[in-house]
Amino acid sequence: MDKFLIEGGKRLEGRVAISGAKNAALPAMAAALLTDQRVVLRNVPRVRDIGTLRSLLEELGVDSSVTHEERGNRVEIEARRLITPVAPYELVKQMRASVLVLGPLLARFGHVRVSLPGGCAIGARPINLHIKGLEKLGAALKIDHGYVDATANGLKGALIRFDTISVTGTENLMMAATLAQGETVLQNAAREPEVQDLADLLNRMGAKIEGAGSDEIMIQGVSRLHGAEHTVIPDRIETGTFITAAAITGGHLILEHCNPDHLTAIISKLSEAGVRITCNSAETASRVIEVHSNTVFSAVDLTTQEYPGFATDMQAQYMALMTQAEGTATITETIFENRFLHALEMMRMGADITLDGRRALVRGKTRLSGAQVQASDLRASACLVLAGLAAEGQTLVDRVYHIDRGYERIEERLTRVGASIRRISEDRSLPFPLSHSSRTSPQSARSLALSVRCESPQWQASPLGGV
């Protein structure tokens, strides 16, 4: 398992190109299962989760190819045939979004077996709403040996109201309903931009979907879908993470190819805390966000919410920033029941945080000192990288395979704008205890030279489950 070695205290300055959204690219790839024609996706991020879904498609017998383009990858998927309708545990446990193949495979082939994902670091995360919704569409589902076994002899449109808003639940049912007979209405649907992006792709493939982006989505079933080309939207969480990186280092970053419209709640909260953010609203193709920050912030309370509220996927990064703000911020996590593991690691770096169920009290401003810390999930690892950038001395972030799941070569991109962050391999002895000053002592510099090997990211699947 690779680690990141960060020397804190460096101010970031420069331009960063934002990648395509992982959480939009994954359902878009699953949507390609709805047709036997070629679906071409552009601006697909080069992150490990995309590789995991490609492995799953391969397992199913579906052809896909990847071409490197100037912005992101071009992924072509042609699901002419299916060798097996089974999404095995080994792949699903690596990435919960594998469950997105359930709806499309059931709708097109009438039978699918998908391993139940099980719990993960941030919460229980059941898929009962996906199952209930598919049953409403006329499928028969049973759970045996840890798998959901679903069959349908033609799905039929239905009115489905989600008890809880679910992003992938909405996406799964929306995809399934495109090939159902008659009309499906999804109420209390997720309004995330990624849902809307998926609806755009599906409509390009011949689906009839209205209302995506609102909490009520209407889908008129069609008998078949065809191939299409689609460019994936920019990653709003990656954008928010880079905004926070600029802020926490008192830096100046220009973020290109992003969409500020998808970050209204995030930009508003960070601005309230004192981060200076300007967005160009002119053209839509390549929009820019500029962050110009000193390191004086005020504590502002935060409650995570479904879109258009403040995203749970930015909560950990916001907490890192709040350790550097004057005053006490209460952070309330409403989406997942266990998404504060990063707080415990930041406390080891000197953060003053009290956890009380789904609330965290962050008292600032604290001096963070570099330490060995361990990432527990994708966004927790982003938080620890941010804390490391702000800390005095060296921070070693373990289990960075989590960050590779959703951020494209983040250490290279941060290095280019002035951060000191290196990927090191696990097979060498580590130079801890590290120097606690921001300057490396001659001795530790020597030991680093001997023991650190920089590597490019490992894209192979991790043995541990995740988001």
Tell me which residues touch ligand EPU (CB under 6 A): 23, 26, 96-97, 123-130, 164, 166-169, 194, 312-313, 335-336, 378-379, 406, 467
| Closest C-alpha among 371, 379, 367 to residue 324 | 367
| Closest C-alpha among 339, 384, 400, 405 to residue 96 | 405
Q: Shortest distance, CB of residue 456 to ligand EPU, whole angstroms?
A: 22
Q: Shortest distance, CB of residue 162 to ligand EPU, whole angstroms?
A: 8
Structure token digits, residue 325: 């703000």
8 or 133: CB nearest ligand EPU: 133
175 or 288: CB nearest ligand EPU: 175
Q: Shortest distance, CB of residue 376 to ligand EPU, whole angstroms?
A: 12
23 or 376: CB nearest ligand EPU: 23
Q: Shortest distance, CB of residue 429 to ligand EPU, whole angstroms?
A: 32
175 or 335: CB nearest ligand EPU: 335
170 or 447: CB nearest ligand EPU: 170
Q: Shortest distance, CB of residue 164 to ligand EPU, whole angstroms?
A: 4
Catalytic residue among 120, 258, 383, 454: 120
Q: Shortest distance, CB of residue 236 to ligand EPU, whole angstroms?
A: 11
Active site residue 120: yes
342 or 379: CB nearest ligand EPU: 379
Catalytic residue set: 120
